[in-house]
Amino acid sequence: MPKEDINADMQKDSITQALDQVAAEGRNFLDGDATAREKLIASARTLVSVAETPVESLLWNIWALPTRSVAARIAVDLKLFETAVSNNGSPKTNQELAAATGASPTLVKRVTRTCASMKMLDEEGPGRYSPNSLTRLLAQPEYASGIIFCFDAGQPSYAQLPAYLRGTNFQNPENSTDGPFQHGQKYTGHAFGWLMEHPEVFQAFHGYVHALRIHRPSWTDMYPVKKRLVDGLKAEGDASALVDIGGGVGQILQDFYATFPEYGGRLVLQELEEVIGAATAMGVGQSKRIELQMHDFFTPQPIKGARAYFMRSVLHDWPDSQCRKILGHLKDAMEPGYSRILISDCVLADEHAAWQHISLDFFMLALASSQERSEREWRQLIESCGLKVAGIYNEGEGNEGLIEVVLE
């Protein structure tokens, strides 16, 4: 049998298997299986991968995906998504979509048809577009912020990453102030410093992080808060505190207080001066329930023997050597048998890791010379600081986990 016929038969077998899997997951979803939707998406992606030829897969990766990113970023600047949903989402021409910013209708045509090919808009006819569910999401500033932050902060690093790695003889980046980000942005200092100097991107970062959090399980959904934090809580002083370290503008503590009003201890937000200023401007500390405290987590922890030191998406920003400094300061402040460190971060599977975790790992490589970590890597890091992992909690594939750390 000719080689081409053998390959065709093998592809048909693979497609048949993939179709069967899609059908099975589809039936499970329609029957009410709560876990089947994500499995259906994964099986549908497998179907596409086996149905495509290798050349089609290649062109999708080198043509379509980069085009999608840049078209989405330009669309945000052109206010295409906001304009598309206006007037109850009535179909609009390229001329109508261009009017919002005075852009060239010819340019808008090239952007809109790209967005439509990538399902960010629906095409109703030649040069006429209407919004779909993704359009409506991207018309909201907090979700468009994700496009702004990831493109403006990440794409220059991605573009220069191959050249940077060639220059290091392909060593793993581990210097957070001299890595791919600095090479791509032509910047001296940490990526957070660059963010502070670019207020639009800094604001987009906080909006994007907050918006994503709404759609993912909260750490309190998976961690036994009452048993581990409320029960046995010392009533006063530092020992009563739940300290959110590097907690942005305080959303985590606000949500915690709303969910667990019975927690009678102190709620302390620790951040750098600029972020505390932003939180103050938002009125976060006005109720006096949440305390605002300026603190650099590379310096000794001022609150001793707290009930819990919480960090969400903090340690994934830093290489292991700097994580050990952060954890070391917390270890020095902890009360054995009472205090705990709660780390809300991704926990990668050792094999077949979720695409969300893998993508974020590469983003952190480019942005901060840091990484997402597997369970094995988390345990190695934590135990190297003389601390112990008391438990790892997860809910749903691709979400953040919760790692409980104690000092015994």
Residue 358 in any domain: the answer is no
Q: What's the pLDDT score for residue 3? A: 53
Does the annotation mark 316 as catalytic?
yes
Same domain, 277 and 380: yes
For residues 296 and 255, state if they share a domain.
Answer: yes
Give how far the C-alpha of residue 303 lies from the chain's centroid of Cα atoms, to the nearest Å.
29
Are 76 and 127 found together in one domain? yes
130 and 180 belong to one structural domain: no
The total number of structural domains that make up the chain: 3
State which amino acid sits at residue 16.
T
Q: Does the residue 266 lie in any domain?
A: yes
Query: Is 148 contained in some domain?
Result: yes
Residue 361 lies in a domain: no
**CATH, residue 27:** 1.10.10.10
Domain termination site, one of 211, 232, 258: 211
pLDDT in tens, the chain (408 residues): 455 555 666 688 899 999 999 999 999 999 999 889 989 999 999 999 999 999 999 999 999 999 999 999 999 999 999 999 999 999 999 999 999 999 999 999 999 999 999 999 999 999 999 999 999 999 999 999 999 999 999 999 999 999 999 999 999 999 999 999 999 999 999 999 999 899 999 889 988 888 888 888 999 999 999 999 999 999 889 999 999 999 988 999 999 999 999 999 999 999 999 889 988 998 888 878 999 999 999 999 999 999 999 999 999 999 999 999 999 999 999 999 999 999 999 999 988 899 999 999 999 999 999 999 999 999 999 999 999 999 999 988 889 999 999 997
Residue 359 resides in a domain:
no
* 161 and 48 part of one domain: no
Regarding whether 230 and 200 lie in a shared domain, the answer is: no
Give the domain extent around 33: 3-138
**Together in a domain, 227 and 171:** no
Q: Which of 118, 138, 158 is the last residue of a domain?
A: 138
Do 147 and 102 share a domain, yes or no? Answer: no
- Is 280 contained in some domain? yes
92 and 121, same domain (yes or no) = yes
CB 348 within 8 A of CB 378: no
Q: Is residue 356 part of a domain?
A: no
Q: Are residues 157 and 106 both part of a single domain?
A: no
Q: Which of 109, 138, 167 is where one domain is finished? A: 138
**pTM score of the predicted model:** 0.88
Residue 174, domain member (yes or no): yes
- 102 and 182 assigned to the same domain: no
240 and 379 part of one domain: yes
pLDDT at 235: 85
C-alpha span between 225 and 176 (Å, rounded)? 34
Provide the CATH number for the domain around residue 222. Answer: 3.40.50.150
CA distance 276 to 282: 10
Cα separation, 277 vs 249, whole angstroms: 9
Question: From the candidates 183, 316, 329, 357, which is the catalytic residue?
Answer: 316
